[in-house]
Amino acid sequence: MKIIELFQGISTMFQQEPKVVILRVVLIFLGFLLVYLGKKGTLEPLIMIPMGLGMSAVNAGVLFMENNQIANLIINPLLTTTDDLMKYMQINFLQPIYTLTFSNGLIACLVFMGIGILCDIGYVLAHPFISMTIALFAELGTIATFPIAKLMGLSDGAAAAASIIGGADGPMVLFAALKLAPEYFVPISIVAYLYLSLTYGGYPYLIKLLIPKEIRGQVIVDKKPKHNITSSEKLIFAVIANALLCLLFPVAAPLFLSFFIGIVIRESEISKYVKLIEDGFLYFATFFLGLMLGVLCDASTLLNPVVLKLLVLGIVALTLSGIGGILGGYVIYLLRGKNFNPVVGIAGVSCVPSTAKVAQKEVQKVNKCAFILDYALGANICGVITTAILTAIYVTLLQ
Amino acid sequence: MLLSIGVPLKVMGIGIVISYGIAFLIKILLVCIRMFNKGQKHNN
């Protein structure tokens, strides 16, 4: 036995095509970089640290399996038959998590439950029309990316799934890709989550580019007396909206149910369930989402030429949505006789609560007394609702 | 190209109707709940 054969990863690595080997090495180092950027706080650590580690492990740990096929002992996302699934669930370390939680959308629903628990729907109930208008403008990317994707040669389903990236809602992208373009589920999810963690860094520049400094520091004066929104009002709204949206769009009923059940539990103050969903489900789902996205970044999967198109479409969708949101902010600014801060518009892009925090941070850099977080969170939560609605319509029309 | 614009326009159109429908629903619900609460307080 040659000494190199003792180290299967190395011997297998160099028996692949040169382009695969190069990409594997690049991805191993990209994994290191993601862990570093996650630790530093530049990218979202909750997703990026497990993702980076998974990415480097899956590209390094290759070996020859049966029929001389190169694979790994972590995951195989391309299994289709029941026999293969049952067999590999007993061999691959993360196959059970992928098959039983990822590829059926359960993980997206668990994250959505967590988002529901974190959302105070009272911000939406306080200003429903303002929040909804901004959220609808911030869907520009979800709408305008579709024809661009079609021009780039994608199918209707893949074009719609790529457009949903513009909604900046990770679980929704997973759900749409599963329903509309299961063949591109892996690359679409990876591209979406990679970009979603970058929006945190990119949107402040978009705000500075499109909104002059003097408008950025605008204080919003509430002329009407504020009504306190009670828990019962929030609960009644969540119960009715859930039933109504499930009735209108049964294809997205799991998502609506997950989101509104989070809200209802929060407003019912069932502390044990709140703790279970917030500390248990949400962190379980986020951890495995990150790890799973990392191990799905296998070089052979990413060599698919469609990945390059998705990378372009993802950035186009998120940029357009950011621009649309700010445009919506300007529309409200003009409609309310300049008594509004257009920076709130960026929060319409529903990356809860990142974009709302970005908006508040940018405003406070200019004017320390300006507080826009309540409007920003309203637009943010409405963004989740509008993205869910648009996803449901795309799925209903195209499935 | 024109055909591919049809789908997102339809999505946007229905999306606007449903989203503003929800905003109206919120307003109506809040008014009803507050009227109900006022009536109950008045009766007490």
DSSP string, A106-144: HHHHHHHHHHHHH--THHHHHSHHHHHHHHHHTTHHHHH
Asked if A233 and B29 come within 8 Å (Cβ–Cβ), the reply is yes
From residue B1, give the alpha-carbon distance in Å to each of A152, A196, A314, A318, A321: 11, 28, 20, 21, 21
Looking at the predicted structure, is the pLDDT value of residue B6 above 60? yes
Same domain, A285 and A385: yes
Q: Closest CB to A389: pick one of B10, B15, B23.
A: B15
Q: Does any domain span residue A79?
A: no
The range of the structural domain enclosing residue A8 comes to: 1-70
Same domain, A169 and A295: yes
Give the nearest chain B residue to A142 (CA atoms).
B8
Is A154 in the same domain as A10? no
**Does A178 lie in the same domain as A47?**
no
Residue-wise pLDDT tens digits, A19-57: 889 999 999 999 999 999 999 987 888 888 999 999 999
CA distance A80 to A185: 14
Q: Which of the listed residues A70, A95, A124 is the one where a domain comes to its end?
A: A70
Q: Which of A397, A398, A399 to mutate to test the interface with B (most CBs of B within 10 A)?
A: A397
Contacts of A150 in chain B (CB under 8 A): 1, 4
In a domain, A15, yes or no: yes
- Mutate which of A130, A316, A389 to disrupt the B interface (most B C-beta within 10 Å)? A389
Residues A185 and A43 in one domain: no
Is it the case that residue A226 has pLDDT exceeding 90?
Answer: no
- A100 within a domain of the structure (yes/no): no
Tokens of A341: 């801060």
Region B7-27: mean pLDDT is 93
Q: What percent of chain B has pLDDT over 90?
A: 48
Is A83 inside a domain boundary? no
Residues A291, A150: one domain?
yes
Q: CA A52, CA A57: separation in Å to the nearest integer?
A: 9
Domain membership flag for residue A346: yes
pLDDT at position A43 is 80
- Where does a domain end: A16, A51, A70? A70
Radius of gyration of chain B (CA): 19
- For A236, the closest of B16, B23, B29 (CB atoms) is B29
Distance CA A115, CA A381 (A): 9
Is some CB atom of chain A closer than 8 A to the CB atom of B27? Answer: yes
Question: Mutate which of B3, B5, B10, B12 to test chain A, going by most A C-beta atoms within 10 A?
Answer: B12
Is the pTM here over 0.90, yes or no? Answer: no
Query: Does A60 share its domain with A122?
Result: no
DSSP conformation class of B23? H
Question: What's the pLDDT at A330?
Answer: 95
Q: Does residue A276 share a domain with residue A358?
A: yes
- Say yes or no: A39 and A188 in one domain: no
In this predicted structure, what is the pLDDT of residue A1? 64
Interface check for B16 against chain A (CB to CB < 8 A): the answer is yes
Identify whether the C-beta of residue A357 lies closer than 8 Å to the C-beta of residue A199. no
Q: What is the predicted pLDDT for the residue at A103? A: 82
Closest residue in chain B to residue A240, using alpha carbons only:
B25
User: Do the domain assignments include residue A92?
Assistant: no
Together in a domain, A137 and A199: yes
Give the dihedral of Cα atoms A201, A205, A206, A209; nearest 10 deg. Answer: 180
Q: How many domains are contained in chain A?
A: 2
The whole-angstrom distance between B38's CA and the closest CA on chain A is 14
pLDDT score recorded for residue A63: 86
ipTM over 0.95: no
* Chain A CB contacts of B36 below 8 Å: none
* Judgement on whether residues A197 and A247 belong to the same structural domain of the protein: yes
Give residue A183's pLDDT band: very low, low, confident or very high (50, 70, 90): confident
A176 inside domain: yes
A65, A154: one domain: no
B20/A contact by beta carbon, under 8 A: yes
What pLDDT is recorded for position B3?
62
Of A51, A70, A89, which closes a domain?
Answer: A70
Q: In the A/B pair of chains, how many CB contacts fall below 8 A?
A: 84
Q: In this predicted structure, what is the pLDDT of residue A235?
A: 93
Amino acid at A189: S
Residue A59 pLDDT? 92
For A322-372, write each residue's pLDDT tens digit. 999 999 999 999 999 988 999 999 999 977 778 888 899 999 999 888 889
- Is A301 a member of any domain? yes
